[in-house]
Amino acid sequence: MVNIKVDKTASRGIAVAPAYKYQEIELSPDTYIPGSVEEETEKFYQARDEVMETLKKLSADNEIFAAHMEIAGDFMLQEGVISKLQSGQQNVQQAFQDTIEEIAAIFTGMDDAYMKERGADVKDIGKQIMARLKGTTLPDLGNMDREYIVVAKDLYPSDTVKMDTRWVKGIITEEGGVTSHVSIMAKSMNIPALVGVKGILAHVEDGMTICMDAKNGEIIVDPDKTVLDEYEDKKNAYQQERLRLEQLRMQPAVTKSGKRVSLCANVGNVEDIRHAMVMNIDGVGLFRSEFLYMENTHFPTEEEQFAVYKEAAVLCPQELTIRTLDIGGDKELPYYQFEKEENPFLGWRAIRISLELKDMFKEQLRAILRASAYGHVRIMFPMIISLWELQESKKLVEECKEELRQNGIAYDEGIEMGMMMETPASVMLADEFAKEADFFSIGTNDLTQYILSVDRGNKKIAERYDSFHPAVLKAIGQIITAGHKEGIKVGMCGEMAGDSKAVPILLEMGLDEFSMSAGSIDYARELILNTI
């Protein structure tokens, strides 16, 4: 039995379940002397056909797998492998790897964005067939059919989106901070999570029982009967606390002295909104539209996005703040090859991408505008550092409005256009931005990392990542003052908005809207109700 203390909780909850170690596996070709061409070819056919069989089952629910099947069965792949086996001394693993790399390079070298995207699919299929050729199995969080606590070095958003919430009871990672995207996603999915737990993989074997207390920061690996009983009590106590909080849900977020604030949810999809609506929210302060892009096999079209935004607007008519695509940094797209960057968080991300890929941006803006006919929809631009970026984005919205007008399509003419305040430049120019923007929303996750120059996902410096640092608090104060001077509402959608230590301070500073992951809403409401 091993007992590990963890200093920070990423997503609250208590869980007891067997461990599932999620680790990247080595897939480079083995160096064995090849058998005859026929024998090696047969190994290829067998591995490929096994993969095709699995894909066939999966393709009933998801079109991406049908596309993968086409790639696996492609003549070019088969011919490439066989011709290499016939012409050289290569074994099938080496011949297969070389062929996959050649085919992926053809796709990624194409100009057409859609064809480029297919390069990532080819590599994905390559990994699956290669694993079969090597006789190993690939870890896949989408394929689980039993309860588990996932233990990993790190998880990327592309891993977490695949998780089936019926089975995953908890998340423990060695890396990552509490504002890394895995933590945010865990919170929105209401899954207990502890991150930055150094060395946990060495203590855990697949299938070992884990007790995790993601409230007080404790992990017990391979517990004895006493601990299991204790955790049963903890689970019950946690349940009681949840019930007490649920009873407060119908009360509006008003302080004891009568200040009414908005209590909103951060969401990544329509399901999250449905989940948050139960908590009697005042609206959605942040719809992270990038998840719609990340869960797709291609850039979602205007129609596809419209369908989602409309459903969201109807579901939450009070207020739906849709943030335009905020990709880059640690958020990648499975179908788009980003160039490798030295500093991704300082690189080609968010509004910088949208203003360059204008057609794609306008598809999104038109979809948002069309949805605005169905509720109180607001547009929010991420990562703004200059007035030009904000003005250019607003100009594109006006162009889209004109296009819709000409086609007689309904939208809200007065749609509000606001911005994330998450860069030092936005703080320094807050006075000027307040004249251009209809609302501010403070993104403390990025603002903290940029003001302090501390990577939000790097556990090694997690101690230094502090949203209560005087420099960050001062920046927040300046943003609120600048916004209020121009009569615009100032909200916060960074994780700090749901931090129980921060809520009273932010109320005192005059913040108008608190937007947070669903898991924090009940706790924040209780705090607001108890604050003078």
Where does this chain bind ligand PEP (CB under 6 A)?
184, 286, 288, 326, 422, 443-446, 493-494
Q: In 241-337, where do the E strands start and end?
A: 262-267, 283-288, 320-323
Q: Which of 25, 19, 28 is nearest to 202 (CA)?
A: 19
**Closest approach of ligand PEP to the CB of residue 113, in Å:** 24
Q: How far from 513 is each of 116, 155, 215, 378, CA to CA, in Å? A: 41, 30, 25, 14
Residue 499 binds what, of Mg ion, ligand PEP, none (CB under 5 to 8 Å, by partner type)? Answer: none
Torsion, Cα 214 218 220 223, to 10 degrees, reads -80
Comparing CB distances to Mg ion, the nearer of 200 and 322 is 322
Judged by beta carbon, residue 167 or residue 348, the one nearer ligand PEP is 348
298: Cβ–Cβ under 8 A, 6 or more apart, which residues?
114, 117, 335
Q: Up-side HSE of residue 513: CA atoms within 13 Å toward CB?
A: 27
Two tokens, residue 76: 């070019």
Q: Which of 181, 211, 264, 298 is catalytic?
A: 181
Least distance (Å) from ligand PEP to the CB of residue 1? Answer: 36
Pairing of strands 193-194, 377-381: unpaired
Q: Is 192 strand, coil or helix?
A: coil
The whole-angstrom distance between residue 344's C-alpha and the CA centroid of its chain comes to: 16
* Residue 522: contacted member of Mg ion, ligand PEP, none (CB under 5 to 8 Å, by partner type): none
Least separation in angstroms between residue 482's CB and ligand PEP is: 18
Q: SS3 of 511, please?
A: coil
At residue 448, what is the residue type?
A: T
Contact 192/15 with Cβ under 8 angstroms?
yes
**How many angstroms from the chain centroid is the CA of residue 429?**
29
Which of the listed partners (ligand PEP, Mg ion, none) does 288 bind, with a CB threshold of 5 to 8 Å by partner kind?
ligand PEP
User: Which amino acid would we find at residue 393?
Assistant: S
What is the closest distance, in whole angstroms, from the C-beta atom of residue 467 to Mg ion in the complex? 13
Q: Crossing angle, helix 113-133 and helix 37-59, to 10 degrees?
A: 120
Phi and psi of 106, rounded to 5°?
Answer: -60, -45
Residues 412-451 that bind Mg ion (CB under 5 A): 422, 443, 446
Min dist. Cβ of residue 495 to Mg ion (A): 10
> At closest approach, how far in Å is the CB of 397 from Mg ion?
20
- Cβ-based nearer residue to ligand PEP, 223 or 328: 328
Q: Scan residues 160-189 and list those touching Mg ion (CB under 5 A).
A: none
Nearest to 377 by CA among 289, 313, 324: 313
Closest separation in Å from C-beta 449 to Mg ion: 9
- In three-state form (DSSP H/G/I as H, E/B as E, the rest C), the secondary structure along 49-78 is HHHHHHHHHHHCCCHHHHHHHHHHCCHHHH
Q: Choose the one of Mg ion, ligand PEP, none that binds residue 273, judging by a C-beta under 5 to 8 angstroms depending on kind.
A: none
Q: Is 264 a catalytic residue?
A: no
Closest CA to 364 of 376, 347, 350: 350
234: number of Cβ within 10 Å:
18
Of Mg ion, ligand PEP, none, which one sits near residue 494, judging by CB under 5 to 8 A according to partner kind? Answer: ligand PEP
Q: Nearest CA to 316 among 274, 359, 360, 367? A: 274
SS (H, E, C) 231-280: HHHHHHHHHHHHHHHHCCCCCCCECCCCCECEEEEEECCHHHHHHHHCCC
Fill in the DSSP letter of residue 323.
Answer: E
> In whole angstroms, what is the distance from residue 112 CA to residue 98 CA?
24
Catalytic residue among 211, 264, 316, 493: 493
The secondary structure of 435-463 as a DSSP string is HH-SEEEE-HHHHHHHHHT--TT-GGGGG
- Smallest gap from Cβ 401 to ligand PEP, in A, equals 26
Closest CB to ligand PEP among 94 and 289? Answer: 289
Q: Which residue is nearest to Mg ion (CB)?
A: 446
Q: Which of Mg ion, ligand PEP, none lies near 163, with the C-beta cut-off 5 to 8 A by kind? A: none
Supply 370's token pair.
């069309």
Written as six digits, the tokens of 125 are 């299929």
Query: Residue 457, interface with Mg ion (CB under 5 A)?
Result: no
Q: Which is nearer to ligand PEP, 72 or 503 (CB)?
A: 503
**In the bound complex, what is the minimum distance in angstroms from residue 505's beta carbon to ligand PEP?**
17
Tell me which of Mg ion, ligand PEP, none is bound by residue 493, counting a contact when its beta carbon lies within the kind-specific cut-off of 5 to 8 angstroms. Answer: ligand PEP
User: Which residue minimizes CB distance to ligand PEP?
Assistant: 443
Residue 181 is among the residues annotated as catalytic for this protein:
yes
* Min separation Cβ 316 and ligand PEP, Å: 18
444 binds, among ligand PEP, Mg ion, none (CB under 5 to 8 A by kind): ligand PEP
Applying CB under 5 A, the residues found at the interface with Mg ion are 422, 443, 446
Annotated active-site positions, please? 181, 493
